[in-house]
Amino acid sequence: LEEPLIFEQGTPGRIGVDLPPVPAATSRLGGTARKGAIGLPDLAEPQVVRHFVRLSQKNYSIDSGLFPLGSCTMKYNPRLNEKVARMPGFADLHPLQPVSTIQGALGVMAELSDWLMRLTGMAEITLAPAAGAHGELAGLMAIRAAHVARGDARKRVIVPDSAHGTNPASAVLCGYTVESIPGTEDGRVDVATLKAALGPDVAAVMLTNPNTCGLFERDVRAIADAVHEVGAYFYGDGANFNAIVGRVKPAELGFDCMHINLHKTFSTPHGGGGPGSGPVVFAESLAHVAPGPRIGKADDGSYTVDAVPGGGAVGRLKAFFGQMGMFTRALAYMKSLGRDGLHTASGDAVLAANYLMVRLSDEMSPAFDGPAMHECLFDDSFLDGTGVSTLDFAKAMIDEGFHPMTMYFPLVVHGAMLIEPTETESKQALDQLVDALLSLARRAKAGEAAMFHAAPRYAPRRRLDETLAARKPILRWTPPVDARAAAE
Amino acid sequence: LEEPLIFEQGTPGRIGVDLPPVPAATSRLGGTARKGAIGLPDLAEPQVVRHFVRLSQKNYSIDSGLFPLGSCTMKYNPRLNEKVARMPGFADLHPLQPVSTIQGALGVMAELSDWLMRLTGMAEITLAPAAGAHGELAGLMAIRAAHVARGDARKRVIVPDSAHGTNPASAVLCGYTVESIPGTEDGRVDVATLKAALGPDVAAVMLTNPNTCGLFERDVRAIADAVHEVGAYFYGDGANFNAIVGRVKPAELGFDCMHINLHKTFSTPHGGGGPGSGPVVFAESLAHVAPGPRIGKADDGSYTVDAVPGGGAVGRLKAFFGQMGMFTRALAYMKSLGRDGLHTASGDAVLAANYLMVRLSDEMSPAFDGPAMHECLFDDSFLDGTGVSTLDFAKAMIDEGFHPMTMYFPLVVHGAMLIEPTETESKQALDQLVDALLSLARRAKAGEAAMFHAAPRYAPRRRLDETLAARKPILRWTPPVDARAAAE
Amino acid sequence: MRYLPLTGADRAEMLRVVGAPAIDALYRDVPAGMLHGTDAFDLADGKGEFQVEREMQAYARASRSAGDGPFFVGGGLYRHHVPAAVDHLIQRSEFLTAYTPYQPEIAQGTLQTLFEFQTQVALLTGMDVANASLYDGSTAAAEAGMMAVRITRRNKVVVAGSVHPHYRAVVRNQLGFAGIEVDLAPADPRAEDDIMARVDAGTAAVIVQNPGFFGHVSDLTTLADAVHAKGALLVVAVTEAVSLGAIESPGAMGADIVVGEGQSFGNMLTFGGPTVGLFATRSKFLRQMPGRLCGETVDADGRRGFVLTLSTREQHIRRDKATSNICTSAGLCATAFTIHVAMLGEQGVTHLAALNHAQASLAADRLAAVPGVTLVNDSFFNEFTLDLGRPSAPVVQRLADRGILAGIAPATLDGVEGDADRLASLLVVAVTELVTEDDVEALAAALAEELAA
Amino acid sequence: MRYLPLTGADRAEMLRVVGAPAIDALYRDVPAGMLHGTDAFDLADGKGEFQVEREMQAYARASRSAGDGPFFVGGGLYRHHVPAAVDHLIQRSEFLTAYTPYQPEIAQGTLQTLFEFQTQVALLTGMDVANASLYDGSTAAAEAGMMAVRITRRNKVVVAGSVHPHYRAVVRNQLGFAGIEVDLAPADPRAEDDIMARVDAGTAAVIVQNPGFFGHVSDLTTLADAVHAKGALLVVAVTEAVSLGAIESPGAMGADIVVGEGQSFGNMLTFGGPTVGLFATRSKFLRQMPGRLCGETVDADGRRGFVLTLSTREQHIRRDKATSNICTSAGLCATAFTIHVAMLGEQGVTHLAALNHAQASLAADRLAAVPGVTLVNDSFFNEFTLDLGRPSAPVVQRLADRGILAGIAPATLDGVEGDADRLASLLVVAVTELVTEDDVEALAAALAEELAA
């Protein structure tokens, strides 16, 4: 059954939410009262529930199967976290209440901060950023503020070409120009290339480690030294922190600051694209310009909201205190795993990726040698001459019951396929994925290109025309012409 | 993807629930400590969640589409009710706590009782029965106790042949013999036939009104008089109370007692087969033998658990107080609709059934003339000569995206198809059902029997071999022979 | 009204199609004067969701819920931790709002879950087969008694003093109306019953509970042999399903039928209902079993699938010849049971049982050290009986007034026949994994004060 | 560990396949001495679910949640009733645990929901198009400023005194780092701003808020004309989305970009995050819009379907040339918004808005009658400003100590530049449908006592 838009199901005279009658009162809207109708459809509650249940049934999700999207870390989202986030003391709490009435929320922020600083070895933290890219911006602002404070404003930020697109975009937003540097044959930053690009006008080098090829940047210390030598700061993109959490402290690798994606490493749900949360940790080198909010503790043990370091050199990043709903989930997750569980989790994630890499190499072409970290990267050379593209291959996975891997990222590899299994998949599930992918690779090589081009066939939709969507954008429902005419 | 049994997914060494270590303590189990393993499979939490999410995706539900099962009243289950039932003051409460600590729960029971007695016009109530059939038993016990109390124990219970199977089964459980009487040509009880069957050894006549043909027993008052004339009691099966709630008081129809299915009339969810709740209301004529629990009110306004009328002539029906989880849901529902909403709901349910009956009559054969109450009944005469049975027709509905109607019930009609739309379906949804059924009927008449025999084709399973299941019952998983051999 | 999608225009159009002037006209078969408007009902009109929620919240807050402080009440319902995933899963529309799986092709989710439930119950109880759940433990016990009567064609059921008072009352009531003789041994707080003295050639079954209502755990092997020697069946009731993780299964001890309350797995206390009745037996008694059964079969393509089966035992087919009148099961509660047990697995069930037992053992030692308190049980699982040396009911009330729910004063319970003097001073105390050491200390301290007073 | 399905045997077998002796060996690229065991972290080991729940519950109980008593705090987040169905639906696995819909064939649920969201936002704001959500209202305001700079190629943004102090601070901070001049008018509690005085030929945009932070509602038509006459864009921020049901839409009043906080629909307060940033504009500015967009198209069989589109604006394609660095949206919060607005519909949104306004109007009258209190606003929606004639912050604290959360003392807020003396005595009070008459009476009485003291 097809599910029409909610706008195509409305009939005046229905109500989906009963409300008490409006009491008689003086209107204070002055001349601004709404004149026309909004145009929303009227439905009853059962219809709305059925509509969204049916829509949901057209989605693939981590709860329905393996979701090996590289760089996205689709791990299991514990239901305890959902329960905790909905406790009235967190969900039904306003950030502008007096501090004496929000002690529990501040306590969560303080403990979460403590965990994140200890896990990263860092000295200061801000929980404000709403997502990873927002965290990048916060980190770069601190870097800029630090340079400005010492009278040394700089212009350039260096980003490897394998980086997430957010890195250069954030740098530009922070007023920098961006220089992209190519990687080595083995999928890593080349120290010599980097050194050549460095100079006194470089504000920061941004490095993702493990990087988006799923590899650990083994020269990270040398890079850090080179960066620091020219007076620049070393920014860590912590999107892949899940590979090393509980094992490696980013501060020891030489990073001056790093953002952390709570929705990747710490299991908060992706929710179809958000919300996220991107706290940033700062080494001593940048602690003096870390933005707020900053939770302190008074002598009587109560929590306080403290003044921001550096006199607010970096100002407010977001209204209120940050993504509390993600803080409670992430803290519940960390307490559940503990340092031992986090250590095991990162190890299992890395083991699973290496297992896939080795087993899939029977038919597929790894882009680089291992060991992989949390994800493994293949190029499309194994499809050479088959008439099957990375896109076709990915769509064929859908018919096998799996979500495709990340396609065409990172850009440094031709027809990239980036596979991240995470630690919450069983060996049986990994083996099922391997069997399906190997079988698909063999079928591609056996000349079954037509099947791949036709995929997916067993999904709620076959391949969608993205070109049409972009060429003639239809971004909202509009009433049918005859209905509009009738209304006039 | 097929989903194996949970037993086929276990691997020792996993845990799905972390628990604190067991402290050292003296064992008090004596010689009874378990010697062997239980044999349960070990899985991690993500696997269990995925297993049951996947299983759930193989179910049809009222939230996914129209569920026109006659006599089952598949109406929308409000989510407010689920929220209310989970409030800690209800969900995390023990019935054997001191009465001073369970005042809120008793208050819910008192208010629910009040609503049900006012809606039925009755004088007394027991909330204990766990389901409708359990309520029937409770009502019959009261009848037996009333007769015994006046030294007039009786033997027979009369039940129309259109009744639910629970009616005769409950009567037997209560020590009665059952006599079934046939209905009239127009689908109702024949007063003359009934009178002929009555006698001084008849304890009760059980009548469902509206009956299972979806018709109102228009001679109900005459029947009541005849029943009372021989000193018998008139039992009301309230399974179809939803057709008349807020409009007709069963007490006025002459019933001495009646059970109410909270999961039908009052929207508590069916949950794949339960739990239910079947409170019984009693007229003055039986109030003196009504079983407990009975909630009273002390002078200080606090609620009390009172002694049962009749000195416990009818004893305990169930441990504790009944299905509190259903009481809270049903009360939330009644408060939400109110007397006006209940009145509208029953009217809409009846209107929807009549609408379907009239529109479907274009191609299908109604068993009786209307007006229908909450459901409409068809026989299979419209399929004569098509080679399509009621079963085939029902299975073909699955491929159209609908749950089938009730088949082959009531028994009084050949190849019965009993359709109950309920008041929570929109006219659009009703029209979709009509279109689908009319189209199927036309295709059956057009000779497309093969399509019907092959149905369903678009369900998680095609037709299942029920004969095989009954002939060689496999009622549990057992380890594969080689695994057992290996373990020995 | 938010739950009703028909609009005034819809109703007018539908009435036109139906050919009726108004909805009331469809009720023309209702006797004159008996079709009412809303005025005939002295009840409130409908309310918005937040108003209803507020009113229900007021009721909820008027009780002292178990989680509000130290809590030691058991007696057939146990406060265990239910993982959040369980409640999440049973609230999925596809489980919550489905009907009994009469159309198996689109109900494999419910059916496979029930098949897994039946297997879990059979494994935990050590029996061959289990049904897909009954209302609760007490009615399951009554069903077991009636089943034994059908099997043995004898007409008397003996109920031991170890059985929960409410279960005793339910069995007596239900079997009594069915014309079956019920011989109730008095309450047995010290496990001194000579139950075999009540068994004769007319006895269909002996119903015992293990662990007993007062907490005792017993090796039932000898009893089973003795009961069988008399040609009767042994019915074992288990009200604390977690105990099956630590105690030898009733099946291994010789039970013919095991009934139980499954609430401990997956279900909150919910003031005692709904819960989930467990029912398991030997293969040879299968066709006398009450309740719904799910079985494995194949579909038209030969793929494994599940259906409701052996329904010729049931009321909707057999009517007055059915094995029971039961129509509704505890489907959703059984689903919660299944999910929780699946999460626990072998390791979790045994660990949870061991944890309960150890904490109860430590708590018993601590409470027995309170002056004036004697521990009645020499054996128990997670619930035991204390003798306070004075009437326990007023002590329980005073402790409740202090915020501590100390347990059950058995003398106050419906169905607890026995030596009133001996019962009056008893307190039945349950200790699950959710009871903390602080809770035990708080109870011990308060009890010491009360008893010193 | 319950979230980790690999067993020791699995790990051994996988290491064998991988050809590594141990998991640590896979980390051989980590510099020497920097690969640690658990001892290197001074943190707790893992805990069971009920232990974690207990610890988190302790935090939750250490706050005074909004529902615990009279509550009048607004200021950009509003406590409305969210129907239970909303939270139920967004917890469905298929919404909760899905990723950004990069594979549209198996993400139509999320995509169609976003398309409906975009339509709802466009309708409510009176604009042509809306994106699929940003982080929140404050960052959306900053994005709007930057977008105006891109469109006009001018480099100054004027922020009115009606704008929420936090939004002002965010705009100043983010635009400042981007090298854009930000001209902040002082806080404007009495709607006396002459904002046009700050607009010059270099001004890209004027950002105003309606209703303003202090509650005023304004007809922006004249301002829009004036701004346009200067070649600048008018950005209207709406922090209380419910007001759109009662007040003329910003689009109808001439806004070029509307940003807003959508929390009021479908989302709890959650201590201010996550919430849902609304962003809508005119069609002609579409390609300068930040954030994700969902568009309609057809599939290979010609059936309607939805995809993410115009991603050439976004960072993952355009990198340093993107319109924004935004990658993550507020997907799930937007889903909640969509469901709640769908439930309300035209009737519900307008009724809810009218109810809020009427209750606020009555409350304002009542509170203005308290001796010493003056109502500052001549116009407002559901939030208004009182002048207490003395510093309000201590009053707020004392009322909180008495269990009443009376509102916001604006002088205490980050970003609220302005006349400190005039601000110090103000109290901003929000009244939604959840505030009862009793709550208002309680506040009035307590306020009277505090002011008399």
Is there a contact between B18 and D46 if contact means CB atoms under 8 Å apart? yes
Side-chain-facing half-sphere of D331: CA atoms under 13 Å? 32
Same domain, B257 and B350: no
Please report whether residue C392 resides in a domain. yes
By three-state DSSP, how is residue D317 classified?
helix
Same domain, D287 and D383: no
> CB-based contacts of B376: which residues, under 8 Å, 6+ apart?
B70, B214, B353, B354, B356, B357, B360, B366, B370, B418, B419, B420
- Structural domain boundaries enclosing B392: 342-471
Whether the CB-CB separation of C247 and B32 falls below 8 Å is answered with yes
Same domain, B356 and B218: no
Suggest the residue from A9, A45, A76, A82 to mutate for an interface test with chain C (most C CBs closer than 10 A).
A45
Pick the last residue of a domain from D289, D310, D339.
Answer: D339
Suggest the residue from D319, D401, D413 to mutate for an interface test with chain A (most A CBs closer than 10 A).
D319
Q: What is the pLDDT of residue B1?
A: 67
Same domain, B352 and B294: no
Which residues is B202 bridged to in the sheet?
A: B156
User: b/e map of A18-44 (b: 16 or more CB within 10 Å)?
Assistant: bbeebeebeebbeebebeeebbbbbbb
Please report whether residue A240 resides in a domain. yes
Nearest to A398 among D106, D319, D401 (CB): D106
Same domain, D71 and D89: no
Please report whether residue C57 resides in a domain. no
Nearest-neighbour CA in chain C from A84: distance (Å): 9
Joined tokens for residue A399: 């018919």
Same domain, D225 and D132: yes
Task: Answer yes or no: is pLDDT of A488 > 50.
Answer: no
Mean pLDDT of B191-218: 97
> CB-based contacts of D262: which residues, under 8 Å, 6+ apart?
D121, D133, D137, D241, D275, D276, D277, D278, D333, D334, D337
Residues 323-352 of B with CB under 8 A from D: none
Whether the CB-CB separation of D308 and D174 falls below 8 Å is answered with no
Same domain, C381 and C425: yes
Same domain, D214 and D324: yes
Same domain, D151 and D175: yes
Please report whether residue C112 resides in a domain. yes
Average per-residue pLDDT in chain D? Answer: 96
Same domain, D217 and D97: yes
Whether the CB-CB separation of B138 and B130 falls below 8 Å is answered with no
Please report whether residue C119 resides in a domain. yes
> CB-based contacts of B106: which residues, under 8 Å, 6+ apart?
B99, B295, B303, B304, B305
Q: What is the pLDDT of residue C191?
A: 86
Task: Answer yes or no: is pLDDT of B488 > 60.
Answer: no
**Position B486 confidence tier, pLDDT thresholds 50, 70, 90:** low
Q: Which of C424, C393, C430 is CA-nearest to residue C72?
A: C430
Question: What's the pLDDT tens digit per position in D200-218?
Answer: 999 999 999 999 999 999 9
Question: What's the pLDDT tens digit per position in D312-349?
Answer: 888 888 888 888 888 889 999 999 999 999 999 999 99
Q: Which amino acid is at C264?
A: S
* Interface membership of D84 toward C (CB under 8 Å): yes
Please report whether residue C288 resides in a domain. yes
Query: What is the CATH number for B435?
Result: 3.90.1150.10
**Alpha-carbon D151 to chain mean position:** 24
Please report whether residue D31 resides in a domain. no
Nearest-neighbour CA in chain D from C452: distance (Å): 33
Same domain, C138 and C259: yes
Is there a contact between A424 and D5 if contact means CB atoms under 8 Å apart? yes
Residues 404-443 of C with CB under 8 A from D: 433-434
Same domain, B301 and B349: no
Per DSSP, the residues of B299-335 read TTS-EEEEPPGGGGSS---SSTTS-HHHHHHHHHHHH
Same domain, B323 and B352: no
Joined tokens for residue D349: 């949104």
Per DSSP, the residues of C357-411 read HHHHHHHHHHHHTSTT-EE--SS-SSEEEEE-SS-HHHHHHHHHHTT-B--B-GG
Mean pLDDT of A343-352: 98
The Cα C168–Cα C141 span in angstroms is 9
Same domain, C104 and C230: yes
Whether the CB-CB separation of A166 and A147 falls below 8 Å is answered with no
The Cα D369–Cα D373 span in angstroms is 7
Please report whether residue D200 resides in a domain. yes
Which residues is B180 bridged to in the sheet?
A: B159
- Structural domain boundaries enclosing C26: 1-41
* Interface membership of D93 toward C (CB under 8 Å): yes
Q: What is the pLDDT of residue A391?
A: 97
Same domain, C117 and C153: yes
Beta strands in D239-382 (DSSP E): 257-261, 277-281, 294-298, 304-308, 374-375
Residues (pLDDT < 50) of chain C are none
* Omega before residue A210 within 30° of 0, cis: yes
**C84 contacts in D (CB within 8 Å)?**
49, 53
**Position A484 confidence tier, pLDDT thresholds 50, 70, 90:** low
Task: Answer yes or no: is pLDDT of B264 > 90.
Answer: yes
Mean pLDDT of D68-83: 98
Suggest the residue from B476, B477, B478 to mutate for an interface test with chain C (most C CBs closer than 10 A).
B476
* Omega before residue A269 within 30° of 0, cis: no
Task: Answer yes or no: is pLDDT of D427 > 70.
Answer: yes
Mean pLDDT of B237-262: 98
Whether the CB-CB separation of C220 and C238 falls below 8 Å is answered with no
Touching C: which chains, 3+ CB pairs < 8 A? Answer: A, B, D
User: b/e map of A102-137 (b: 16 or more CB within 10 Å)?
Assistant: bbbbbbbbbbbbebbbebbbbbbbbbbbbbbbbbbb
Query: What is the CATH number for C332?
Result: 3.40.640.10
* Interface membership of B55 toward D (CB under 8 Å): no
The Cα B50–Cα A401 span in angstroms is 14
Per DSSP, the residues of D47-90 read --HHHHHHHHHHHHHTB--GGGS-B---SS-------HHHHHHH
* Interface membership of B82 toward D (CB under 8 Å): yes
Number of domains making up chain C: 3
Query: What is the CATH number for C352?
Result: 3.90.1150.10
For chain D, which residues lie within 8 Å of any Cβ of chain B, measuring from their own Cβ? 1-5, 7-10, 46-49, 51, 83-85, 88, 93
Residues 348-387 of A with CB under 8 A from D: 348, 350-352, 354-355, 358-359, 370-373
Q: Which of B271, D349, B63 is CA-nearest to residue A52?
A: B63
Q: What is the pLDDT of residue C193?
A: 85
Task: Answer yes or no: is pLDDT of A485 > 60.
Answer: no
Pick the last residue of a domain from D312, D339, D366.
Answer: D339
Whether the CB-CB separation of A135 and A259 falls below 8 Å is answered with yes
Same domain, D155 and D284: yes
Query: What is the CATH number for B243?
Result: 3.40.640.10
Same domain, B321 and B409: no
Nearest-neighbour CA in chain A from C200: distance (Å): 54
Task: Answer yes or no: is pLDDT of A487 > 60.
Answer: no
Q: Which amino acid is at B116?
A: L
Is there a contact between C4 and A44 if contact means CB atoms under 8 Å apart? yes
Please report whether residue B424 resides in a domain. yes
Nearest-neighbour CA in chain B from D34: distance (Å): 30
Same domain, D226 and D372: no
Please report whether residue B169 resides in a domain. yes
Pick the last residue of a domain from C322, C339, C356.
Answer: C339
Q: Which amino acid is at C91?
A: Q
The Cα C290–Cα C307 span in angstroms is 17
Question: What's the pLDDT tens digit per position in A217-235?
Answer: 999 999 999 999 999 999 9
The Cα B475–Cα A337 span in angstroms is 38
Instruction: Give backbone dihedrals phi and psi of A423, rounded to 5 degrees, phi first.
Output: -85, -5
Please report whether residue D432 resides in a domain. yes
